[in-house]
Amino acid sequence: MEADSNSSSGSFVLLGISDHPQLEMVFFVVIFSSYLVTLVGNSTIILLSRLDARLHTPMYFFLSNLSSLDLAFTTSSVPQMLKNLWGPDKTISYGGCVTQLYVFLWLGATEAILLLVMAFDRYIAVCRPLHYMSVMNPRLCWLLAALSWLGGLGNSVIQSTFTLQLPFCGHRRVDNFLCEVPAMIKLACGDTSLNEAVLNGVCTFFTAVPLSIILMSYSFVAQAVMKMRSAEGRRKAFNTCLSHLLVVFLFYGSAIYGYLLPAKSSNQDQGKFISLFYSVVAPTANPLIYSLRNKEVKGALGRLLGRGREGG
């Protein structure tokens, strides 16, 4: 007799790319390599932001928050992905699936808010440089960071609770690499119109709205940069803002495509690879984008390595 789909004693099957078993080892190597880069890159940014006094600024405070978030974001899903790609067992326990759903939604929404906060930081730095340190004081920075994490948690509670109320079909086979809302909605055998409405409403609030505000703020930033008399100042502001914009488009572009398309009608193969993109590729790219385009980060790394060689 089949267990009740809502029973905690059951489990789910994460299909991933099990229909193409010859590709599983390729995906395992790529995802494992990306995960290592994510761990090393984001840990390095956190370490540099803590150890180098020149990086004790609001910008690097928020960047270290983003790196911490990316570390947790990938760790909430990648180990399970690697386990499922390594062997024939594709199952994830009911509790594991629920935990993954809550954590993934929490951290994803937190990143959406945090990127908006970082855009605000860049707006003040470029458009109000004389008031930057008084506006972006430590108290406000901690408050904005806390609001980002708490806002993301609120999103997770709303979406996860609605999703877990669905009557899941007996086979419990999730056609994705991880337990996330669009794939879980496809699994349901009842009416999902309310869930899709909640998904679209919440995701519009956490993606389309922040993205619109970010783009609007950067139009003012671009105007301010063009008015700068110093070519070096323009170049530095441009590089910093471009790095942030690249991260913004990587995250919001994939999130909007993955979450705001109609959950029942979107192509599932495209959906699962989009989820793979924002859960694996984007967190890997973020530290690379910020470090490769940022002289301050490269300088801090050089100083840290130099001290290490001297100590040795």
167-206 burial, b for 16+ CB within 10 Å, e for fewer? Answer: ebeeebebbbbbbbbbbbbbbbeeebeebbebbbebbeeb
> Residue 49 in 3-state DSSP?
helix
* Residue 164 or 307, more confident: 164
pLDDT band at 3 (very low <50, low <70, confident <90, very high): very low
Closest C-alpha to 16, from 30, 6, 37: 30
| pLDDT at res. 264 | 47
Mean predicted confidence (pLDDT) in 253-271: 64
Domain locations along the chain: 11-311
Task: Please tell me which of 5-14, 47-56, 167-176, 249-258 the model is most confident about, judged by mean pLDDT.
Answer: 47-56
| pLDDT at res. 61 | 94
Average predicted confidence (pLDDT) for the chain: 82
**At a CB cut-off of 8 Å and minimum separation 6, what does 178 contact?**
14, 77, 80, 81, 100, 104, 275, 279
| pLDDT at res. 307 | 65
* 197-211, 237-251, 285-299: segment of lowest average pLDDT: 285-299
C-alpha distance across the termini of the chain, in Å: 65
- Whether residue 283 is predicted with pLDDT greater than 60 in this model: the reply is yes
pLDDT band at 9 (very low <50, low <70, confident <90, very high): very low
- Whether residue 173 is predicted with pLDDT greater than 60 in this model: the reply is yes
Residues of the chain above pLDDT 90, percent: 24
- Whether residue 312 is predicted with pLDDT greater than 70 in this model: the reply is no
Is the CB of residue 80 less than 8 Å from the CB of residue 14?
A: yes
Domain 11-311 has CATH 1.20.1070.10: yes
φ, ψ dihedrals at 165, nearest 5°: -80, -10
Rg (CA), the chain: 21
What is this structure's pTM? 0.85
